[in-house]
Amino acid sequence: MPQAPTAYAYFQKQFVPLAEAKLGIMTHAFLYGTAVFEGIRGNWNDKEQQVFLFRVKEHYARLRKSCRIVRIDLPYSDEELQSITTRLVEMCGYGEDVYVRPIAYKSSEVVGVRLHDLEDDFLIFVVPFGPYLDIDKGARCCTSSWRRVEDTSIPARAKINGIYVNSALAKTEAQLNGFDEAIMLDERGHVSEGSGENIFIVDGERLITPPPSSNILVGITRDTVITLARQELGMETVERDIDRSELYAAEECFMTGTAAHVTPVVELDHRPIGSGKMGPVAERLVRLYFDIITGRNPKYVSWCTPCYSKVKA
Ligand code: PMP
């Protein structure tokens, strides 16, 4: 991605130009994947000339949980994390959608695989970030030959950098085979999630989605969709195991994620899902979701944190 001349990072407890934020090659997180991260979207509202961070509080709450699981010390209050993030986004000054990547990591430069007796640090960078999947066209997916990592191996509820090798294997297999995205099963053969998205199906008046025990990352977009379905569409969501064949036969299927937003799955393993196009439930959710994340829906403004204190020229 091109680096804007105004790109900054928060690195080693200060704001620095992104180009100067460099880690040593012996950094533990690089050697062993011992880091946890978040992906937060900043959504550009052209009319207000403002970037709104979406559900930043919930992202940092999840980062804290991830830190606990891999024993990373995060010596910042919720308010500090939020204010560092908004300040960084404001310093960068992008007039477009951005992606904010906070990482808490094992920063010691030392060989030796473990989690204890190591230094920790925290950084954030921001990059411009447009659409990830084509929402209007929908995603053509395959069932991955890679299984989702089990909680007994690497806990998927923690957003651990090293775990993303699992997602990368699945995503590359899918794309090199001509699909847009992979859907992974868990070791029992139930649907788990996409390489970077949670999965929903529509069943009459309700939604169904896999539970956290299917080794999913418990998504913030997933929670957003569950809330919007209940409050705005009058649809409850059932969390239960989903079989692969239920996806083939579903009325509608869609994926949710910070990068993917709400993206319909229009085809799986060469079978059209539903009409083979975006379905009516997904369409309503997509519309609602975009209004909300760009700060246009007053009912949900508490989910949106503005970054620019002064209106951009
Ligand atoms: N699962 C995985 C593996 C992911 O990487 C993501 C993206 N963070 C999600 C699900 C969706 O989570 P969220 O809605 O919080 O972005």
Contacts of 205 (CB under 8 A, 6+ apart): 234, 235, 236
Among 55, 148, 160, 217, the mutation site with the greatest number of ligand 1 atoms within 8 A of its Cβ is: 217
Number of domains in the chain: 2
304 domain residue, yes or no: no
- Cα Dmax for the chain: 55
pLDDT of 150 > 90? The answer is yes
pLDDT band, residue 2 (cuts 50/70/90): very low
pLDDT band, residue 3 (cuts 50/70/90): very low
Q: Are residues 146 and 80 in the same domain?
A: no
Q: Are residues 125 and 146 in the same domain?
A: no
pTM above 0.85, yes or no: yes
Q: Which domain holds residue 119?
A: 8-130
pLDDT of 1 > 50? The answer is no
Query: In whole angstroms, how far apart are CA 293 and each of 41, 160, 185, 261, 307?
Result: 9, 25, 30, 10, 13
119 domain residue, yes or no: yes
Nearest atom, ligand 1, residue 224 CA:
14
Q: Are residues 29 and 175 in the same domain?
A: no
Q: Are residues 71 and 29 in the same domain?
A: yes
* Residues 256-302: tens digit of each pLDDT: 999 999 999 999 999 999 999 999 999 999 999 999 999 999 999 99
Among 53, 99, 197, the mutation site with the greatest number of ligand 1 atoms within 8 A of its Cβ is: 197
Q: What are phi and psi of 143, to 5 degrees?
A: -80, 125
Q: Are residues 289 and 144 in the same domain?
A: yes
Catalytic residue among 65, 159, 310, 312: 159
Helices 56-69 + 78-92 axis angle, to 10: 120
Question: If residue 29 lies in a helix (H) or strand (E), which one and from where to where?
Answer: helix 28-32
Q: Are residues 146 and 245 in the same domain?
A: yes
Nearest atom, ligand 1, residue 221 CA:
14
* Residues 165-194: tens digit of each pLDDT: 999 999 999 999 999 999 999 999 999 999
88 domain residue, yes or no: yes
Nearest atom, ligand 1, residue 193 CA:
1
Residue spans of beta strands (DSSP E) within 47-161 = 50-54, 98-106, 120-128, 139-143
Q: Are residues 198 and 224 in the same domain?
A: yes
Q: Are residues 114 and 208 in the same domain?
A: no
Q: Are residues 276 and 150 in the same domain?
A: yes
Q: Is residue 239 a contact partner of residue 154, using CB atoms and an 8 Å limit?
A: no
CA of 15 from ligand 1 middle (Å) equals 27
CATH label of the domain that carries residue 248: 3.20.10.10
Q: Are residues 98 and 222 in the same domain?
A: no
Q: Is residue 29 a contact partner of residue 113, using CB atoms and an 8 Å limit?
A: no
305 domain residue, yes or no: no
Contacts of 231 (CB under 8 A, 6+ apart): none
Of 138-142, 226-230, 307-311, give the lowest mean pLDDT range: 307-311
Q: Are residues 93 and 183 in the same domain?
A: no
234 domain residue, yes or no: yes
> How far, in Å, CA of 60 to CA of 102, rounded?
9
Place of tokens 């699992």: 166
Query: End of a domain among 93, 111, 130?
Result: 130
Q: Is residue 184 a contact partner of residue 148, using CB atoms and an 8 Å limit?
A: yes
> Would residue 159 show up in a list of annotated catalytic residues for this protein?
yes
Q: Are residues 114 and 225 in the same domain?
A: no
